[in-house]
Amino acid sequence: MRNLRKLNSKTVIVLYILIDIIFMGMGMGVPIFCILLGFPLGWYITQRVSASTEQLYQKYYKIFKLSLFAAIFTIIVMLIVWGGAILIHIHSSSDIQNFGHPYILYDPKTSFIGWLILMIIISPFLQLLTTIFSVFITLIRNEKKSQQPSI
């Protein structure tokens, strides 16, 4: 585990990009695994940033910034994956009803728009929330461990 914290920043970014793309492919364009990736990502970000000797607010800012960058990368990839589907919506003669998305709003056109909003905006936001939640739990656990007396 200590070796993970000592990795070069560029190596960590490349590994995250590869893992995020693989997880997106495992979900076949639906980023459920990317959302779940937020849990170990939050833990890793906290462990890596906590090792620095910066002020507390600087650590929190850096943790939030890294979590936000991860979510922004997922938004960019989701725009690439689902961007072509937006063009289907713009074209008036396209068959939206047989596109293959779930009818969550009981109408093909509104369900299609809702599906795109869910994939492109809400899912990366959920990834950000899981990452921040994991950061919060890790910080609580680290604080609890540091306050316990050694036996």
Instruction: Say if residue 10 is exposed, middle or buried (CB neighbours under 10 Å; 0-12, 13-18, 19+).
Output: exposed
Contact indicator for 125, 31 with CB cutoff of 8 Å: no
pLDDT over 90 at 9, yes or no: no
Q: pLDDT tens digit string along 71-107? A: 999 999 999 988 887 777 776 676 666 665 666 667 7
78 residue type, one letter:
M
Task: Report the percent of the chain where pLDDT is more than 90.
Answer: 36
130 residue type, one letter:
T
Closest residue by Cα to residue 111 from 126, 119, 101: 101
Give the pLDDT of residue 151. 61
Q: Which domain holds residue 134?
A: 2-147
**Distance, CA of 127 to CA of 116 (rounded, Å):** 16
Number of domains forming the structure of the chain: 1
pLDDT over 90 at 68, yes or no: yes
Q: pLDDT tens digit string along 104-138? A: 667 777 787 888 888 889 999 999 999 999 999 99
Q: How confident is the model at residue 12 (pLDDT cuts 50, 70, 90)?
A: confident
Instruction: Say if residue 45 is exposed, middle or buried (CB neighbours under 10 Å; 0-12, 13-18, 19+).
Output: buried
